[in-house]
Amino acid sequence: MSGKGFPNAYRGRIAPSPTGLLHLGHAQTFWTAWLRSQAASGVLILRNEDLDRDRARPEFAEAQRRDLAWLGIRWDEGPDLKGPVGPYSQSQRLALYQSVYLQLQSTGHLFPCTCSRRDIASAIAAPHALDEEPIYSGRCRGRSPTDEVGLVSESLRTAWRFRVPVGEEIIFEDALMGRQSWVAGRDFGDFVVMRHDGMPAYQLACVTDDHAMGITEVVRGADLLVSTARQILLYRVLGWKPPQFAHCPLVTDAQGGRLAKRNGALSLETFRGQGWTPEEVRAIGSKSTEGYGLSIKP
């Protein structure tokens, strides 16, 4: 089922990865997503983005649902509620990603790549401002899909990259950040859509699911603005209408760094254990953070 099945309905989503505990940054973003869905009398979907085989854990997914419910967020469809566009865990949607990947490959938008194993290995997770992959050098850009046979015969680990239209400006109007402009080849390069181990990268899985689940607005952190430019290119070549986008300002630590799941002191579970109320935690993201040792980074 695609977005065409919901022509007049607002459908938002929250899509945590179960690789750790939720923190204050997640609280701000997911609370904003819930508020926007409520304001539109819409549907909110919980999607479990559990493609990272090495780090995803069922216990983290359960903890995240507890934290979201404690914050006051309610979802209408998800792994625990089912719904018309399930399954709602990405690990159960691999056949769908494969079909979209083959469509991209057959239309000549992808090329096989044996470069940068470290970059390729990290492509399964949503990128962030501090760990964006460097602009791709273009070393394998001239290869065609038929070259894969030779690469496999040489036992080379082959991923598949999307060939971006170098020099093209991608413009979109963000509901929270205003007009955004990104230039392919300058601000980002050819990006991985399928890893060498056959697992879909974040960009491919995200676009496929948002389309299939009928998402009309994506609310997420400002560190994913450049990912939106990449994803708009995927929507375009697949012939799908992209959703609207709303990117939230980042909550940072006292040193101005991006919050990470590994920082347990800032996890929602820790705040809850210390007796904080949901209202107090939500206020950190919506008001002045003076006195909390945190700051809002625009």
Tens place of pLDDT for every residue, the chain, 298 residues?
344 567 659 999 999 999 999 988 899 999 999 999 999 999 999 999 999 999 999 999 999 999 999 999 999 999 999 899 999 999 999 999 999 999 999 999 999 998 866 655 566 666 655 446 678 888 899 887 776 655 554 546 789 999 999 999 999 999 999 999 999 999 999 999 999 899 999 999 999 999 999 999 999 999 999 999 999 999 999 999 999 999 998 876 665 666 655 555 578 998 899 999 999 998 875 543 444 444 444 4
Location of structure tokens 């508020």: 35
Write out the DSSP string of the chain.
--GGG-TT--EEEE---SSS--BHHHHHHHHHHHHHHHHTT-EEEE-B----TTT--HHHHHHHHHHHHHHT---SBBTTTB-TT---BGGG-HHHHHHHHHHHHHTT-EEEE---HHHHHHTTSPP-GGGPPPPP--TTTT--GGGHHHHHHTT---EEEE---TT-EEEEEETTTEEEEEEBTTTB--EEEE-TTSPBPHHHHHHHHHHHTT-SEEEEEGGGHHHHHHHHHHHHHHT----EEEEEPEEE-TTSPBP-TT-GGGBHHHHHHTT--HHHHHHHHHS--TTTT-EEE-
Catalytic residue among 241, 261, 287, 297: 261
Measure the CA–CA gap between 100 and 193, rounded to whole angstroms. Answer: 10
The fold adopted by the segment(s) 1-90+249-298 is Rossmann fold (3.40.50)
- At residue 1, the pLDDT reads 37
Return the sign of the alpha-carbon dihedral for residues 118, 181, 244, 253: positive
Give the CATH number of domain 93-207.
3.90.800.10
Location of structure tokens 């963000």: 174
Distance CA 227, CA 39 (A): 26
Q: Which pLDDT score, from 0 to 100, does residue 123 have? A: 62
Residue ranges of the chain assigned to CATH 3.40.50.620: 1-90+249-298
Beta-carbon contacts of residue 11 (< 8 Å; ≥ 6 apart): 3, 42, 43, 44, 45, 213, 214, 215, 216, 217
pTM: 0.87
Strands 169-174 and 178-183, how do they pair? antiparallel
Residue 261 is a catalytic residue: yes
Task: List phi, psi (to 5°) of 210.
Answer: -60, -35
User: Which residue intervals of the chain bear CATH 3.90.800.10?
Assistant: 93-207
Backbone angles phi, psi at 46, to 5 degrees: -100, 120
Residue at token pair 């769908």: 96
Q: For position 5, what pLDDT does the model report?
A: 66
Report CA 267 to chain centroid distance, whole Å. Answer: 20
